[in-house]
Amino acid sequence: MSRKVIIAGNWKMNKTAAEGRELVEALKAELTCSCYDQLDIVVCPPFTTIGAVVEAARGSRIKVGAQNIHWAANGAFTGEISADMLKTAGVEYVIIGHSERRQYFGETDATVNSRLKAAIAAGLKPIVCIGELLEEREGGLTEKVLTTQIRGGFDGISGEKMAEVVVAYEPVWAIGTGKTATPDIAQETHAHIRKELAAMFGEEVAAKVRIQYGGSMKADNARELVAQPDIDGGLIGGAALKADSFVALINEAMGK
């Protein structure tokens, strides 16, 4: 089963519209070779930067994602953004349940599930984040935590839709810390995730789901991580904020 590698940049709360446009222009100038069609390249700017980035990315191989979505279609939800609003703004992907949202904004597997259903219903491509805390890894709870996140987060999704969902495995202890899971640890954990997906949706669906690694991924480690059989790309924070580091990482992930 060959799955298309997907490299997504999560810009988090960084980049004004002008800065976002500048970064996309720099990426476009670097990513001209048709060889880059072998993988999906996504950038996920903050909401206020999406318009400028969609415009700058139009007609290029760079796809645009958002960092969150609300489950309701509209209404009295101050500060939230709906699936339709994202679709209309030209967004294709959406990150759901990032660990920073779980840690700082009360996101749970139940809210992840609601957001995922809204994204799927609107035809957005979800990138659903899961991952364990350091104390959970040290306490031998990693597989249990991931299984709970998978069962709760993906509850009620059809196999057909699940096959198109991207899962981002991001060990929380590796995010922004410079500590990366070794390729062996990451592979072992990705294999567990795929096994859980197979238990829930069947082998055929599980074999189609793309599972990205996230957490201090950079040019130095991308090649070895993406070479693992169950690692289908990366969700990148820090290294996605500059064109040179993001392009270098993409090249390594492609084995270029």
Q: What are the residues binding ligand PGA (CB under 6 A)?
A: 10, 170, 175-176, 214-217, 235-239
Burial of 128 (0-12, 13-18, 19+ CB in 10 A): buried
126 vs 237, which CB is nearer to ligand PGA? 237
From 216, 225, 218, 235, select the one nearest 178 (Cα to Cα). 216
Nearest residue (beta carbon) to ligand PGA = 237
Among 70, 98, 132, 196, the one annotated catalytic: 98
Give the C-alpha separation, 64 to 48, whole Å. 13
Which tokens in the block code for residue 255?
A: 């084995």
Shortest separation between residue 239's beta carbon and ligand PGA, angstroms? 6
Among 100, 132, 136, 170, the one annotated catalytic: 170
Shortest separation between residue 44's beta carbon and ligand PGA, angstroms? 9
From 193, 123, 113, select the one nearest 161 (Cα to Cα). 123
Shortest separation between residue 74's beta carbon and ligand PGA, angstroms? 28
Give the C-alpha separation, 194 to 181, whole Å. 17
- State the residue for tokens 């599980």: 206
Contacts of residue 5, defined as CB under 8 A and 6 or more positions apart, other chains included, come to: 38, 39, 40, 210, 226, 232, 233, 253, 254
Shortest separation between residue 223's beta carbon and ligand PGA, angstroms? 16
47 vs 195, which CB is nearer to ligand PGA? 47
62 vs 175, which CB is nearer to ligand PGA? 175
46 vs 237, which CB is nearer to ligand PGA? 237
Give the C-alpha separation, 226 to 3, whole Å. 11
Which tokens in the block code for residue 240?
A: 């996605």
52 vs 235, which CB is nearer to ligand PGA? 235
**Is 170 in the active site?**
yes
Shortest separation between residue 67's beta carbon and ligand PGA, angstroms? 9
The SS3 call for residue 213 is strand
- Name the residues annotated as catalytic: 98, 170
